[in-house]
Amino acid sequence: MKRPTKRIIGWVIAAVGGWGVAIVILLFLLLLVTLGVVISSRDNALPFSSTASVEPIPPQLVPLYHAAGAKYHVPWAILAGINKVETDFGRDLSVSSAGAIGFMQFEPSTWAQYGVDADGDGKIDPYDPVDAIFSAAHYLSVSGVKKNPMQAVFQYNHSTDYVREVLRLAEIYQTWNPLSSAWVWPVADTGDRISGVGHSNSEPLNVIIHCPAGVTVQAVHNGTVTSVTGMSVTLDLGNGLTVIEQGLRPTVSSAQVVHVGEPLGMAATRGVTASIEEQGAPLPLLWFVSPSQPNLAPTPPPMMTPTPANTP
């Protein structure tokens, strides 16, 4: 190269300076990101866009997440997060562009391998919420969700954006109660000591509130009184949900409609017990009603590990 040409190039580099180097680096990084997106989304069961919003989980699905999570040792809230992102809790059951089907969006080949007949009706149906949720738990368990939740969710849908959104929702579902605005604690003083009775996947099914005798016991939710005994009140909340509060002297009568926070009676002894059922099956009460004490919070958030590398 002739000396004048070298001098001209030197002037250009000097003029552009650090900004030119920075622009080249940014262009290179942009190319890498673009390639990464193409690779990571190549095998997606569902083309992903981050439109999932936080909303109350349909109450009838909560016991399914808990039961499937307990059986396969999968955080129940990850199942809820996947269900929300994949089909909006079953509201959108259309077949994806990649051919994924059903309530939890499985590709047919994956469903054939991991689908289970969870409700025992003799059919393995991807559109049956029970079969689909338990099958998703089965697949996540085999994928190693207990050791590495991020990698297991990545196996479910090969998109890092998808993984982040599912785990974001899962953490919210586990640490914040989406129904909290419509529920209250059975007694006004949330500082009273509490203890759990009976557990499902480390979550108490019945909660004893060690409050003084004579304090007001209130309705945890809007409902209709269906049963009154000398020491208990049962409320029908609709949607198959029933709340039983025991250890109180009732001041309400059967068939009476009550609203959240209204008195049901007075604590008869030092201890009021509250529980909730869905179609007769007990649910973890603290998922719906959270006291101020964190010691009986639901299952801990999943351990966050580095984002999985994209695989071809």
Residue pLDDT, tens place only, 64-78 = 887 888 788 888 889
Are 167 and 256 in a shared domain? no
User: Does residue 91 lie within any of the structural domains?
Assistant: yes
Whether 258 contacts 236, CB under 8 Å: no
Q: Domain holding 268: CATH number?
A: 2.70.70.10
Residue 211 corresponds to which amino acid?
C
- Mean pLDDT of all residues in 148-165: 94
Q: What is the pLDDT of residue 188?
A: 78
- Domain end marker among 175, 192, 227: 175
Whether 62 contacts 287, CB under 8 Å: yes
Residue 162 has pLDDT above 60, yes or no: yes
User: Does residue 286 lie within any of the structural domains?
Assistant: no
Q: What is the pLDDT of residue 25?
A: 57
Higher pLDDT, 303 or 244: 244
For residues 34-46, one letter each, b for 16 or more C-beta atoms within 10 angstroms of the residue's C-beta and e for the rest, the string is eeeeeebbeebbb
- Domain end marker among 175, 206, 236: 175
- Domain end marker among 175, 199, 226: 175
Q: What is the pLDDT of residue 293?
A: 32
Q: What is the pLDDT of residue 243?
A: 93
Lowest mean pLDDT across 38-42, 50-54, 106-110: 38-42
- Mean pLDDT of all residues in 271-290: 75
Could you count the other beta carbons within 10 Å of the beta carbon of residue 10?
10
Q: What is the pLDDT of residue 183?
A: 75
Are 165 and 202 in a shared domain? no
Q: What is the pLDDT of residue 36?
A: 41
Residue 144 has pLDDT above 80, yes or no: yes
Q: What is the pLDDT of residue 300?
A: 35
Are 63 and 166 in a shared domain? yes
Three-state SS annotation for 221-279: CCEEEEEECCCEEEEEEECCEEEEEECEEECCCCCCEECCCCEEEEECCCCEEEEEEEC
Are 204 and 229 in a shared domain? yes
- Specify the 3-state DSSP secondary structure of 185: coil
**What is the CA 251 to chain-centroid distance, rounded?**
37
Are 167 and 229 in a shared domain? no
Are 211 and 131 in a shared domain? no
Residue 93 corresponds to which amino acid?
L
Q: How confident is the model at residue 170 (pLDDT cuts 50, 70, 90)?
A: confident
Residue 266: domain span? 183-281
User: Does residue 88 lie within any of the structural domains?
Assistant: yes
Q: How far apart are CA 164 and CA 171, in angstroms?
A: 11
**What is the CA 175 to chain-centroid distance, rounded?**
9
Q: Which residue has the tokens 């077949």?
A: 95
Q: What is the pLDDT of residue 208?
A: 86
Q: What is the pLDDT of residue 65?
A: 87
Residue 59 is given by DSSP the state G
Residue 124 has pLDDT above 50, yes or no: yes
Q: What is the pLDDT of residue 32?
A: 47
Q: How far apart are CA 52 and CA 84, in angstroms?
A: 7
User: Does residue 260 lie within any of the structural domains?
Assistant: yes
Q: How far apart are CA 269 and CA 250, in angstroms?
A: 13
Task: Indicate the angle between helix axes 149-156 and 129-142, nearest 10 degrees.
Answer: 130
- Mean pLDDT of all residues in 135-161: 94
Q: Tell me the pairing of strands 281-283 and 194-200.
A: unpaired
User: Does residue 130 lie within any of the structural domains?
Assistant: yes
User: Does residue 14 lie within any of the structural domains?
Assistant: no
**What is the CA 160 to chain-centroid distance, rounded?**
18
Are 193 and 170 in a shared domain? no
Are 248 and 148 in a shared domain? no
Are 168 and 250 in a shared domain? no
Predicted TM-score (pTM) of this structure: 0.50
Q: What is the pLDDT of residue 296?
A: 31
Are 163 and 192 in a shared domain? no
The dihedrals phi and psi of 114, each to the nearest 5 degrees, come to: -115, -5
Residue 131 is given by DSSP the state H
Q: Which two tokens stand for residue 79?
A: 């199942």
Total domains present in the chain: 2
User: Does residue 167 lie within any of the structural domains?
Assistant: yes
User: Does residue 141 lie within any of the structural domains?
Assistant: yes
Q: How far apart are CA 36 and CA 86, in angstroms?
A: 22
Higher pLDDT, 309 or 129: 129
Residue 226 has pLDDT above 80, yes or no: yes
Are 217 and 147 in a shared domain? no
Burial category of 52 from C-beta neighbours within 10 Å (exposed 0-12, middle 13-18, buried 19 and up)? middle
Averaged confidence pLDDT in the chain: 76
Q: Which two tokens stand for residue 16?
A: 């552009």
Q: What is the pLDDT of residue 277?
A: 83
